[in-house]
């Protein structure tokens, strides 16, 4: 089966600009996750969707980050305005219906200058 | 979710067996232990999962003692391509609303010739 697709792979923006990331999960996977991974750290969950509804967004900085998952398939994560500390890799993951089947994409590396 | 403790880094040579131990003293009765592997510029990849005793697949073995307060990931005959960060995660299985994974900082394994 095809993996989790993310784009773009790399993005460089200036602080205070906005940026959006796109994720296409594995077909049939109901649960979608966005993680932020700062260099040298493990991934940190930002938001979790079940179909097109939000299950958990407790760690999402809602003053600048937003995410949506229209029609329960693709998802976009947006940052507006970006700060220097947002520089990280943004990972998307999806799962069908089990803890066992958690598949990550390759991520988008964001650099804020 | 139970907190985990694992070594920050480990070094090994090709052909050797590598054992990475993870401590999880506060593991709950219904928690499973899962290990992920992450290469540079890629998302984490599932390696193995277990609840008790020993689990083996084509990639690794997972040893879990009776008290389940620790676990050991065993990689037989490592090669240069096993150089990666290895994460130990502990948590309950899927319960219907999706299950978020909480990552620590992981163990950086470096394999040399």
Question: For chain B, what is the total number of helices (H) and then of strands (E)?
Answer: 0, 9
Q: Is A52 on the interface with B (CB under 8 A)?
A: no
Q: Is the peptide bond before A81 cis (omega within 30 degrees of 0)?
A: yes
Please name the residues in contact with A96: beta carbons below 8 A apart, sequence gap of 6 or more: A26, A28, A29, A30, A31
> For the residues A57-73, what does the mean pLDDT come to?
93
Under 8 Å CB pairs connecting chains A and B tally to 66
Residue range A93-102: mean pLDDT, rounded: 72
Give the tens place of pLDDT for each residue, A5-42. 999 999 999 999 999 999 999 998 888 999 999 999 99
Please tell me if residue B86 touches chain A, with a CB cutoff of 8 Å. no
> What average pLDDT does the structure give for chain A?
92
Hey, is the C-beta of A58 within 8 angstroms of any chain B C-beta? no
User: Residue B94 has which token pair?
Assistant: 């899927």
pLDDT above 60: residue B96: no
- d(C-alpha B32, C-alpha B89), whole Å: 8
Say yes or no for a CB contact (<8 Å) between B32 and A103: no
Partner-chain contact B105 A41, CB within 8 Å: yes
pLDDT number for residue B95? 47
Rounded to the nearest angstrom, the minimum Cα separation between B74 and chain A is: 19
At residue A98, the pLDDT reads 53
Per-residue pLDDT reduced to its tens digit, B6-36 = 999 999 999 999 999 999 999 989 888 989 9
B50 touches chain A (CB under 8 A): no
Does residue B32 contact residue B14 with C-beta atoms inside 8 Å? no
Which of B45, B56, B52 has its CA nearest to residue B90?
B52
Q: Residue window 72-111, chain A: list those with CB within 8 Å of chain B.
A: 91, 93, 95, 97-107, 109
Is residue B110's pLDDT more than 50? yes
Q: Please report, for chain A, how many H helices and E strands are present, in that order.
A: 0, 11
Q: Tokens 């993870």: give the residue.
A: B22
Q: Which of A83-87, A95-99, A108-112, B5-9 has the lowest mean pLDDT?
A: A95-99
pLDDT of A32-56, one tens digit each?
999 999 999 999 999 999 888 998 8
Q: A41, A102, A107: which to substitute to probe chain B, counting the most B Cβ within 10 Å?
A: A102
**pLDDT given for residue A70 in this prediction:** 83
pLDDT at residue A72, rounded to an integer? 82
Cβ atoms within 10 Å of A69's Cβ, excluding its own: 21
Is the CB of residue B89 less than 8 Å from the CB of residue B22?
A: no
Q: What is the percent of chain B with per-residue pLDDT over 70, rounded to a whole number?
A: 91
pLDDT of residue A99: 53
Question: Hey, what's the torsion of the CAs at A57, A62, A64, A68, to 10 degrees?
Answer: 50
The answer to whether the Cβ–Cβ distance between B97 and A103 falls below 8 Å is: no
pLDDT confidence of residue A1: 65
Asked if B99's CB is within 8 angstroms of A44's CB, the reply is: no
User: Is there a contact between B49 and A31 if contact means CB atoms under 8 Å apart?
Assistant: no
């Amino acid at each position: 089966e095809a993996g989790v697709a993310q784009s773009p792979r790399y993005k460089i923006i200036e602080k205070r600009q906005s940026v959006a990331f796109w994720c296409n999960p594995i077909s049939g996977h109901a649960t979608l996750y966005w993680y932020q991974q700062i260099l040298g750290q493990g991934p940190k969950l930002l938001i979790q969707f079940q179909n097109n509804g939000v299950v958990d967004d407790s760690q999402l900085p809602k003053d600048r980050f937003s995410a949506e998952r229209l029609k329960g398939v693709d998802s976009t994560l947006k940052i507006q305005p970006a700060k220097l500390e947002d520089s990280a890799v943004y990972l998307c993951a999806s799962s069908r219906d089990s803890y066992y089947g958690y598949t990550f994409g390759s991520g988008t590396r964001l650099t804020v200058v | 979710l139970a907190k985990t403790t694992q070594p920050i880094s480990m070094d090994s040579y090709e052909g050797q067996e590598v054992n990475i131990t993870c401590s999880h003293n506060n593991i709950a009765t219904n928690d499973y232990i899962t290990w992920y592997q992450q290469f540079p510029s890629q998302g984490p990849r599932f390696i193995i999962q277990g609840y008790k005793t020993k689990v083996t697949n084509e990639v690794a073995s997972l040893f879990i003692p009776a008290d389940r307060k620790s676990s050991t990931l065993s990689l037989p005959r490592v090669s240069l391509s096993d150089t990666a960060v290895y994460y130990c995660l502990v948590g309950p299985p899927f319960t219907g609303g999706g299950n978020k994974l909480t990552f620590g900082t992981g163990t950086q394994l470096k394999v040399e010739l």
